[in-house]
Amino acid sequence: MPKFVTYFMRSDSGSTAIEYVVLVAVIAVSIISVGATVGTNINRPWSSVENATATGRSAVSITTVGPNPES
């Protein structure tokens, strides 16, 4: 086992493997952070819909533009 570790430390393949590990770690952290942000942004509108249906009110307020036909 010590011969393998010594060979791994002296050869260029060891540094290449470490570079790949660092690259994969950076990509994984990026994916996790983007996923958390997107998940929060997707959850926000659905929370208002959920709250509205739980209380029995409309989640969307409809406003009209122009003259009011009832007046």
Q: Which tens digits make up the pLDDT trace of 12-22?
A: 766 778 889 99
Mean pLDDT in the chain?
75
Q: Residue 60 — pLDDT band, cuts 50, 70, 90?
A: low
Distance CA 20, CA 71 (A): 71
Which residues, at least 6 apart from 52, have a Cβ–Cβ distance to it below 8 Å? 58, 59
Residue 40: pLDDT over 80: no
pTM recorded for the entire structure: 0.47
Residue whose C-alpha is closest to residue 59's, from 44, 69, 70: 44
